[in-house]
Amino acid sequence: MSRALKVSVISPEATLFEGEAPSVIAPAFDGEVGILPQHAPMVTTLGRGVLRVGEGTTRFQIEGGFLQVVDDVVRIVTEHATKV
């Protein structure tokens, strides 16, 4: 069983982040959603807020877009994302 998520943060212009992380906390449309390994496949729209990848300092300010989890691969796809 894998213990890490493969995370990528994608904006139209570029892939802003790609790597492994133990967890992801994202601002969903109705509040924050936390993703840990072995999450069920899910697609949710995102609101405005801070996306946190792992416990480190990888944070993004995002607005809109969506998050997709499938087989421990997390994709955050958003038109507005800036690293903070």
Partner 1 sequence: MAKGRELKGRIKSVENTRKITRTMEMVATSKMKRAQDRVVAARPYARALGEVIASLYSPELAERFPLLRQPEREGRAAVILLTSNRGLAGAFNANLIKEARTLLARLESAGTTVELHVVGKKGVGYFGYVGRALATTRTDLTDRPTAADAASLVDGLIGRFTTGELDAVYVVGSRFNSVLSTPPTADRILPVTPPAATGAQKDYLLFPSAETILTELLPSYVRNAVYRALVETAAAEQAARRTAMKSATDNAGEMLNLLRRTYNRARQAQITQEIAEIVGGASALQG
Burial label, 35 (beta-carbon count in 10 A; 0-12, 13-18, 19+): buried
* C-alpha–C-alpha distance, residues 49 and 26, integer Å: 8
**Which among 8-16, 19-27, 53-61 is the span making contact with partner 1, rule CB under 8 A?**
8-16
> Residues binding partner 1: what is the number (CB under 8 A)?
25
Q: Closest Cα to residue 59, out of 11, 16, 3?
A: 16
Task: Give the footprint of partner 1 on residues 14-33 (CB under 8 A).
Answer: 14-15, 28-30, 33
Residues that bind partner 1 (CB under 8 A): 8, 10-15, 28-30, 33, 40-45, 64-66, 68, 70, 75, 77, 79
